[in-house]
Amino acid sequence: MKSELAALLILVLLPGAATAQYRAASPGYRYSFPRDHFNHPDFQTEWWYYTGNVKSASGQAFGFQMTFFRQAVRRSQSQDSPWVIEDLYLAHLALSDLSGGKFYHSERLNRAGPGIAGVSQESGRIWNGNWQILWEGNRQTLEAVADQWSLRLALDTRKPPVVHGQQGISQKGAGSGQASHYISLTRLAAAGTIEVSGKVYTVEGAAWMDHEFFTHPLAPEQVGWDWLSLQLNDQTELMLFRLRRQDGSLDPYSAGTYVDASGMSQHLSAREFTLRPLEDRREYRWTSPSTGATYPIRWQVTVPSLGLEMEISTRLPQQEVTTSGRLAPNYWEGAVEITGTRGNAPVNSPVTSPLTGAGYLEMTGYDRPVRLGP
């Protein structure tokens, strides 16, 4: 299985078809829901990302990540066999036992085959084997079983979808089409069960969903990114990402989005925020024994126009997801906590002092540059 997975990962990361067969993300795309929560086969790459922080009544705290990827390999003229590979479906599953100090992660990769993996608006499903998302109106149910743990969570939508960026695209570089269509559900009420090593916990908390579809990969000079989703206790949310270049500088196409308590969103350019690692102390960094990568695990966030000043930290330094195959990117994806203040709060935004909350931090390209294309 390891060798088969590694071989398939090579297909994922070195596409067998020219990108010209697929649409590029471009301004003016007309979003429609629920349609755009599902599959976009005209685009080469697509993912659905679920993260969240939940607790049991006794205080046992968990973070979770459940991700489904679709990577187009080719567009076939013949559908005679269910084993024809047009798309490959990769999935990642991770649990951060924040109270127990343990991190679990699993991965799987399948072709669609006769119902093995896929995305279907008709049935409201996104699935890979027995890992699935099931949509029923504004509720989604996450179900997954791994070797040492399982989860079943209901996610209820509390705010409308947010479209990131400007003119319907999240621009990632200067080139035409070097962008994605990027949608989030930034406030999902989560409730259900998590079973770890035979013990079942009834949990509640908050979750976040990201959905992106695009065709063009990163620019050659872009080697990785840092991404942050924050759910604040004043019922606002913040998404920020910074793109890192090979020369150590930050790409000007880094960006973010602020969502107020009513669900209204505001685009943030790279000039309007600071997302900076705090690395002056050893405990603010964690070095992976598996990959040798050193990750900054304490960060400072400022958004002057919103009066936001925050520090981001984690209770569990080890939340690195290592993947099979040398070509697959390893990355740190983990639950974080927020402490901070809000100064000159905008009109109609509730003010709570001190400002607290929870979220997820993703860091890529720390062991080697991320390459999503040829």
The whole-number average pLDDT for the span 17-38 is: 89
Q: Are 165 and 181 in contact (CB under 8 A)?
A: no
Does the structure show a pLDDT above 60 at 205? Answer: yes
Q: What is the per-residue pLDDT across 236-290, written as a single tens digit (0 to 9) for each?
A: 999 999 999 999 899 999 999 999 999 999 999 999 999 999 988 899 999 999 9
Does the structure show a pLDDT above 90 at 61? Answer: yes
Q: Are 49 and 333 in contact (CB under 8 A)?
A: no
Q: Which tokens go with 184?
A: 């989030």
Which pLDDT value is given to residue 76?
A: 65
Q: What is the per-residue pLDDT across 133-158, written as a single tens digit (0 to 9) for each?
A: 999 999 999 999 999 999 999 999 99
Q: Are 127 and 116 in contact (CB under 8 A)?
A: no
- Separation between Cα atoms, residue 180 and residue 325, nearest integer Å: 26
For residue 45, what pLDDT band results from cuts at 50, 70 and 90?
very high
Which pLDDT value is given to residue 77?
A: 58
Domains defined along the chain, listed by start = 2-26+34-364 (2.40.370.10)
Which pLDDT value is given to residue 8?
A: 40
Q: What is the per-residue pLDDT across 181-200, written as a single tens digit (0 to 9) for each?
A: 999 999 999 999 999 999 99
Q: Are 293 and 366 in contact (CB under 8 A)?
A: yes
- Separation between Cα atoms, residue 109 and residue 4, nearest integer Å: 9
